[in-house]
Amino acid sequence: MALRRRDQGDSKPAMSTQVFQILLSLLDQDLHGYALIQDIRQRTDGEIALTASTLYAATKRLLAADLIHEIDEPVAPPPNRDTRRRYYRITARGRAAARQEAQRLERLTAMAREKRLLGALRTTPQPKGSR
């Protein structure tokens, strides 16, 4: 399920990694399913590689929750646009849900730093493989 309860005492649902990544991908541009898969794979350096079935199950739930909607034509259609593809756009509600999840993750990261599970926040990006 795209959204799940964190625990009995918390009224805000936690968001799955896949759903959060889909919403992140749609923050900047309208995308079709395969472009979402590619964007997430590239942005996460292959750490998250959605299958088509996972993506379409998640988009179905996101559509039902009004976090994204299907559009007929993207704002900047690519020159080789395939009219059979379904394009998706994040809604205001989806943007708010993604922001809320990012804030939740930020709080969890701060807790991990306080417990010295993670080091101090880096101010400059580290090259791949330097961890």
Distance CA(109)–CA(1), nearest Å, equals: 24
Distance CA(105)–CA(8), nearest Å, equals: 19
pLDDT for 59 equals 97
- For 59-102, what is each residue's pLDDT tens digit? 999 999 999 999 987 776 666 766 778 999 999 999 999 999 99
How far, rounded to the nearest angstrom, does the alpha carbon of residue 84 sit from its chain's CA centroid? 24
Q: How many CB atoms lie within 10 A of CB 18?
A: 17
Residue 129 clears pLDDT 60, i.e. is over it: no
Average pLDDT over residues 106-123: 89
Q: Which residues pair with 68 in a beta bridge?
A: 90
Residue 47 clears pLDDT 90, i.e. is over it: yes
Residue 5 clears pLDDT 50, i.e. is over it: no
Q: Of all helices (H) and strands (E), which one includes residue 31?
A: strand 31-32
* pLDDT above 90: percentage of residues in the chain: 68
Q: Are 37 and 55 in contact (CB under 8 A)?
A: yes
The structural domains of the chain, ordered by start, are: 14-114 (1.10.10.10)
pLDDT for 7 equals 47
